[in-house]
Structure 1
Amino acid sequence: MTIRTAIIGFGTGGRVFHAPLVAAEPRFTVSAIVTADPERVAAAAEYAPADVLASPDDVFARDDIDLVVITSPNDTHAPLARRAIAAGTAVVIDKPIGVSSAEARALVAEAAAAGVPLTVFQNRRWDGDFRTLRELLATGELGAVHQFESAFEWWKPALTSRWKDVASPEQGGGILSDLGPHLIDQALLLFGDVVEVHAELDRRRPGAAADDDAFLSLTHANGVRSRLWMNATAPVNRPRFRVLGSRAVFTSHGLDPQEDQSKAGRRPLDPGFGLPADGRTALLSTPEAERPVPLLAGEHLAFYRALGDALTTGAPLPVDPRDAVRGLELIEAARGLG
């Protein structure tokens, strides 16, 4: 079975993440790309003979699409997903699944009632440093974990005209809506549900429509505290992960390389894809010694491999969309809306 895929949106999400991954998984084919931007239309030629369409309406007018990938602005996610569900077409939604937990919850219920597969692209579950951390936690070498620190920071001090910079929080704008779904999802995956949320949200760039500097402290039901930083105005970054256990501390630096590698023209099946070019390692520190921990390769392609299994054999979806709903509930609590 070939899973004929339409990608709605060909900015960073469609061009850098989804299209290369879909093309790399043999059970999928890129059949259509929706973009009206001339530069993006030219970039879409890499996936010929995929049709380049000007509007999502052109996708929903067809009867030869098996999967719709929605990677357009955040406030279009749920409306477009509802159209796919009505057509009986499986759906992948870029995070966040919607602009509110109520909208997302209703969408998940609608897909379940219709029997339409719906999942969310929480690709950071397959970052190399996160995969490495999960394997290390499974060994018990850290002991009982007390604190999980996670930071995703950039140096982008100037606002742009991109929708992410001009959208209000109600439209899904702001760094908490952009990066929060990733960092919260990782924390929930590692340490389970959250019983308390503290947040500090700031607008550092003049004229910012939404937060561009965010801090969350999450208290998990098991007592672990997750401290999450998201920042667009950080000249120098914190460690990506710092995990304090009763026996040892795990520390890693730098962002997963897959996004930058894809922007540079490398593809998921290329040798070395997903491994940092500088050969960096993580570090495991105890009172007695330190040792390097080799980083596993990042493997966002694993999302589409699992999705292929789900759509062809009935295996579980790669991400339960209810996880994404819970993430939105915590973002709303951080904004004082929960």
Structure 2
Amino acid sequence: MEKIGAALLSFGMSGRVFHAPFLDLHSGFELLGSWERSSKKIEEAYPGVKSYESLEAVLDDPEVTLVVVNTPTYTHYDYARKALEAGKHIIVEKAFVSTTKEARDLAALAQDKGLHIGVFQNRRFDSDFRTVKSVLDKGLIGEVVEASIAFHRYKAELSPKTHKEIPSAGAGIIKDLGAHVIDQALALFGLPKSVFADIGITRPDSQVDDYFDILLRYEGDLRVHVKGGYYFREPTPEFAFYGRKGTFLKSRSDVQEDQLQAGMKPDDPAYGLESDDDKGLLHTEVEGEIIKENIPTLPGDYKAYYAEVYAALTGKGKMPVTAEDGIQVMQVIDAAFLSAKEGKVIPLDLES
């Protein structure tokens, strides 16, 4: 099996939880190390790998084929561009970059150099989203006319990660949790024809957006709301789909992040398996009969993300989340901010 050397640009939470375990597990990748600025932890977690002193050290390493840009969003464009210029394939954390223009620029550079860009949208591989997609793909509720995809939390205090709370091109909830739900909506329904957004600040000391309700309008009758905020103490069905035949409701209940944080390995037999208490509710009509039943949740599977990345890098598939996918998410984000600022519907048939 062809080996692909991979390096991270950070070994904080995302590197430790979302990337290193899967690169280490997959037999086609070799986890070479991570850029670490102060604390040196990756060598302790993965003996024999490198702790790089600088970005240049990562990019100058001839063994590195794939660079994972998992640093704060405002750094993504600069680091990703330098990695591409150095001839490296890249995986870039959500929200990809800060603007649609930056996203298109990176995509064009990668194409010119014959390199791959993947956007890390791991929530496509959550148990809840996989279950929702399965229900819709089977047509169990008929043509969808309205949907709501939310990422709600109760977290009134500001994040200790200052890059999330100090105003910058990458700060705020929309380029954090919002990027997830927008990507999920686009993965299901494609790019909408227009965007109308309400964006606000609800926490007393917040300096950045921490609430959003964005309406995506499609051709025909379909309307999709994507929402997020930090004052939702009581869980709600964060996936709600209303079709011409029926309804499907599902809580956001994927366990993978918690399991990984607790030290579970991705090859553990219990990995990705939800409790039976988190089944979705299907109320619909099948062959003239009204049914109302709980739908078992499919397992979460972040392993599939890097399996598909490997296939793409070895010429046997395509990236699970492409640069074009990332561009479209940025189009919606840019349109949402413009809509909230001007108080009007923003069509997406214009260049952003």
Fold conserved between structures, TM > 0.5 = yes
Aligned to 2:193, the other structure's residue is in SS state: strand
Segment drifting more, 239-248 vs 202-211: 202-211
2:200 maps to 202
Aligned to 2:33, the other structure's residue is in SS state: strand
1:263 maps to 261
Q: 2:32 corresponds to which letter in structure 1? A: S
- Cα offset, 1:37, TM superposition: 3.9
Per-residue Cα deviation, 1:32-76 (whole angstroms, up to 9, x for no partner): 1122242xx336522221111232222123211011001001011
Per-residue Cα deviation, 1:158-185 (whole angstroms, up to 9, x for no partner): 11331343232x4211001112221111
Answer whether contact 1:240 1:255 (CA < 8 A) is retained: no
- 1:197-236 to structure 2, matched below 5 A, reads 197-236=195-234
Aligned to 1:239, the other structure's residue is in SS state: coil
Distance 2:178 2:331 in 1: 11
Distance 1:84 1:191 in 2: 32
- Cα offset, 1:188, TM superposition: 1.2
Distance 1:300 1:230 in 2: 23
Answer whether contact 1:212 1:233 (CA < 8 A) is retained: no
Structure 1 residues 223, 311: CA separation in 2 closer, same or farther (over 3 Å shift)? same
Answer whether contact 1:131 1:296 (CA < 8 A) is retained: yes
Per-residue Cα deviation, 1:266-285 (whole angstroms, up to 9, x for no partner): 12111121112455211101
Distance 1:222 1:89 in 2: 42
- Cα offset, 1:242, TM superposition: 0.8
Distance 1:254 1:318 in 2: 21
Answer whether contact 2:42 2:49 (CA < 8 A) is retained: no
Answer whether contact 1:191 1:224 (CA < 8 A) is retained: no
1:3 maps to 4
- Cα offset, 1:314, TM superposition: 4.1
Distance 1:310 1:191 in 2: 24
Segment drifting more, 27-36 vs 70-79: 27-36
Q: Does 1:46 align with 2:45?
A: yes
Aligned to 1:286, the other structure's residue is in SS state: strand
- Cα offset, 1:144, TM superposition: 1.2
Per-residue Cα deviation, 1:188-229 (whole angstroms, up to 9, x for no partner): 121122112111111112231211111111112343111111
Q: 1:200 corresponds to which letter in structure 2? A: D
1:311 maps to 313
Answer whether contact 1:193 1:221 (CA < 8 A) is retained: no
Answer whether contact 2:128 2:252 (CA < 8 A) is retained: no
2:247 maps to 249
2:329 maps to 327
Aligned to 1:295, the other structure's residue is in SS state: coil
Q: Does 1:18 align with 2:19?
A: yes
2:133 maps to 134
1:116 maps to 115
Runs of 4+ in 1 over 6 A off after TM superposition: none
Distance 2:134 2:63 in 1: 41
Answer whether contact 2:163 2:171 (CA < 8 A) is retained: yes
Q: Does 1:180 align with 2:178?
A: yes
Q: 2:54 corresponds to which letter in structure 1? A: S
Answer whether contact 1:200 1:216 (CA < 8 A) is retained: yes
Structure 1 residues 167, 105: CA separation in 2 closer, same or farther (over 3 Å shift)? farther
Distance 1:323 1:75 in 2: 19
Q: Does 1:33 align with 2:34?
A: yes
Distance 1:67 1:43 in 2: 17
Answer whether contact 2:272 2:300 (CA < 8 A) is retained: yes
- Cα offset, 1:90, TM superposition: 0.8
Distance 1:163 1:310 in 2: 35
- 1:282-297 to structure 2, matched below 5 A, reads 282-286=280-284, 288-297=290-299
2:301 maps to 299
- 1:16-95 to structure 2, matched below 5 A, reads 16-38=17-39, 41-42=40-41, 44-95=43-94
**Structure 2: 5+ residue stretches without partners:** 340-351
Q: 2:82 corresponds to which letter in structure 1? A: R
Answer whether contact 2:80 2:90 (CA < 8 A) is retained: yes
2:165 maps to 166
Distance 1:318 1:286 in 2: 31
Answer whether contact 1:152 1:255 (CA < 8 A) is retained: no
**Corresponding pairs, count:** 335
TM-score, normalised via structure 2 length:
0.91
Q: 2:22 corresponds to which letter in structure 1? A: L
- Cα offset, 1:312, TM superposition: 1.5
